[in-house]
Amino acid sequence: MTPVTYLFVPATRTERVAKAFAAGAHAVIIDLEDAIDAGVKDEARAQLDAFLTASVQPVWIRTNAVTTQWFEDDLALVKKHPEKIAGVMLAKTESPFEVDAVNDGSAENIAVIALVESAAGMLALERICAHPRVTRIAFGSADLSRDLGCEDAWDTLQFARSQVVLHSAAAHLLSPIDGVTFALDKPDVVERDAALAARHGFGAKLCIHPSQINPTLQGFAPTAQQLQWATQILAASASGSGAQRLQGQMIDRPVIERARQILQRHESFQATLP
């Protein structure tokens, strides 16, 4: 299935990668950016180099932003291990030209998850989404709230989230990845945030601890009420008689397709839910 959980692992703790996959993470992002202090960037990159040389399962690499002094070295490491890299999560993406820097013609095409986490990045969303190497947008809620000077909360950032979903859909990208929930010992909070993300059109979530994986999956899974509704809709539409009325609701093709999406999502989740 398309990844729903993306779990961060610091580049200095690559021994956690196997544990992350074992915990059920659909994708692992090895972080060279926020999790690594400036003074140990080179050391972290060297550790990651050694890990990639021996690793088997492809991972994503979050590089430092294109505008930083560390990006070129990060990119050189990615290009050294193309078969071990699922793609690059590009931190603080603010323009399609920064995505160009990942794929500069000297390497095979590298898939890019553009991490949009600034006001400038939000204003460039349409052009970033249109870049042929961008496969998905990730929403950096914490950095965006800092940039905007607002609270990192659903009500304050809902408009920005809606823009990410809208432009991703218009560009026919995978449904975007919602940002991190920082609560580590409150699975109900993680599940609530994941359910909100799913409700608003996101298809995945960034995680910072293995304990967040199952609550995230539970939040994205269709509810019993949604499943009942979808089952009734498809049963009623089986006659193929076009638009019709069911329990006071008009059923036509968009409604039927939405019901089918819900049931397909439910089926795909059965293999990953505990």
The string of DSSP codes covering the chain is: ----EEEEEEGGGTTHHHHHHHTT-SEEEEESSTTS-GGGHHHHHHHHHHHHHH--S-EEEEEPPTTSTTHHHHHHHHHH-GGGEEEEEETT--SHHHHHHHS-SSSS---EEEEE-SHHHHHTHHHHHTSTTEEEEEE-HHHHHHHHTS-SSHHHHHHHHHHHHHHHHHTTPPPPEE-----SS-HHHHHHHHHHHHHTT--EEEESSGGGHHHHHHHHSPPHHHHHHHHHHHHHHTT--SSEEETTEEE-HHHHHHHHHHHHHHHHHTTT--
Mean pLDDT, the chain, whole residue set = 90
* Inside any domain, residue 93: yes
Over range 133-155, report the average pLDDT: 96
Q: What integer pLDDT is reported at residue 243 of this predicted model?
A: 59
Number of Cβ within a 10 Å radius of residue 55: 18
Q: What integer pLDDT is reported at residue 41 of this predicted model?
A: 97
Strands 5-10 and 27-31: parallel
Q: Which range (77-91, 103-117, 210-224, 256-270) has the least confidence?
A: 256-270
* Inside any domain, residue 274: no
Are residues 94 and 191 both part of a single domain? yes
pTM, two decimals, is 0.88
Which domain CATH number covers 210?
A: 3.20.20.60
Are residues 12 and 36 both part of a single domain? yes
Are residues 29 and 82 both part of a single domain? yes
239 vs 209, which has greater pLDDT?
A: 209
Q: What is the Cα–Cα distance from 137 to 201, expressed in whole angstroms?
A: 12
Are residues 127 and 260 both part of a single domain? no
* Inside any domain, residue 81: yes
Are residues 138 and 169 both part of a single domain? yes
Instruction: Tell me which residue range forms the domain holding 36.
Output: 5-220
CB 70 within 8 A of CB 64: yes
pLDDT band at residue 35, thresholds of 50, 70 and 90?
Answer: very high
- Whether pLDDT at 257 is above 70: yes
Nearest one of 163, 152, 158 to 189, comparing CA atoms: 152
Total domains present in the chain: 2
Are residues 204 and 253 both part of a single domain? no
Are residues 93 and 212 both part of a single domain? yes
Over range 211-226, report the average pLDDT: 87
Are residues 123 and 239 both part of a single domain? no
Are residues 133 and 46 both part of a single domain? yes
Tell me the CA distances in angstroms from 145 to 53, 58, 158, 179, one per residue in order.
37, 31, 11, 11
